[in-house]
Amino acid sequence: MPAKLTVLTSTTPKILSKQFRLGPEGELAKTTSANMVKGTAKVIEVAGLEEFANVLSSLTTDQALTYGVPPARSCSIMSKDEFEKAGRPAGTYTRAKAFFQWPGGPGVMMADYDPTGPEALSRGELVKLVREAIPGLADAELLWWPSSS
């Protein structure tokens, strides 16, 4: 049974991911634009980690994933403010708990590790701690992927 997840594609703004560039002094400068105002949502299914990795590899700068699913397999998405201003249009949803639900069956759990301080856990150390804290994940397959958020 495949896992369901949702690909969000933003039309406003056109870029959802971080952007990196060199500043005037040659320093690395980062710009974040992660607030989708308008766009679309499309529910997809992946049959395993290889298919999921292919999805991650294919995402563009105007796309993001969410692991809940909206009521329709394909729909328009707006920010809460835009949704209200537009008069709550039919067939359009917000990225709110009221509209996105966890699907039954297999799913994807995303975890982000942003260590503070000079010492970071190794991949093996982090996985060991997570599996000890959540025994149900002892035999779960894992995919290690860099985050863009």
Q: Is residue 143 part of a domain?
A: no
Q: Is residue 27 part of a domain?
A: yes
Q: Is residue 50 part of a domain?
A: yes
Residue 25 has pLDDT above 60, yes or no: yes
Residue 20 has pLDDT above 80, yes or no: no
Read off the amino acid at residue 44: I
Q: Is residue 93 part of a domain?
A: yes
40-69: average pLDDT: 95
Q: How confident is the model at residue 46 (pLDDT cuts 50, 70, 90)?
A: very high
Q: What percent of the chain has pLDDT over 90?
A: 65
- Euclidean distance between the first and the last CA atom of the chain, given in angstroms as a whole number: 29
Q: Is residue 144 part of a domain?
A: no
pTM of this prediction exceeds 0.75: yes
Find the domain containing 29 and state its range: 3-137
Vertex 34 angle, CA 112 and 41, to 5°: 90
Q: Is residue 31 part of a domain?
A: yes
Instruction: For residues 22 and 29, give the distance between their C-alpha atoms in angstroms, rounded to a whole number.
Output: 6
pLDDT value, residue 118: 87
113-142: average pLDDT: 92
Unique residue bearing structure tokens 């308008």:
38
Residue 149 has pLDDT above 60, yes or no: no
Assess contact for 149 and 61: CB atoms under 8 A: no
Domain count, the chain: 1
Q: Is residue 118 part of a domain?
A: yes
Instruction: For residues 14 and 38, give the distance between their C-alpha atoms in angstroms, rounded to a whole number.
Output: 9
Q: How confident is the model at residue 18 (pLDDT cuts 50, 70, 90)?
A: confident
Q: Is residue 46 part of a domain?
A: yes
91-103: average pLDDT: 91
Q: Is 65 left (phi over 0), alpha (psi -120 to 50) or beta?
A: beta
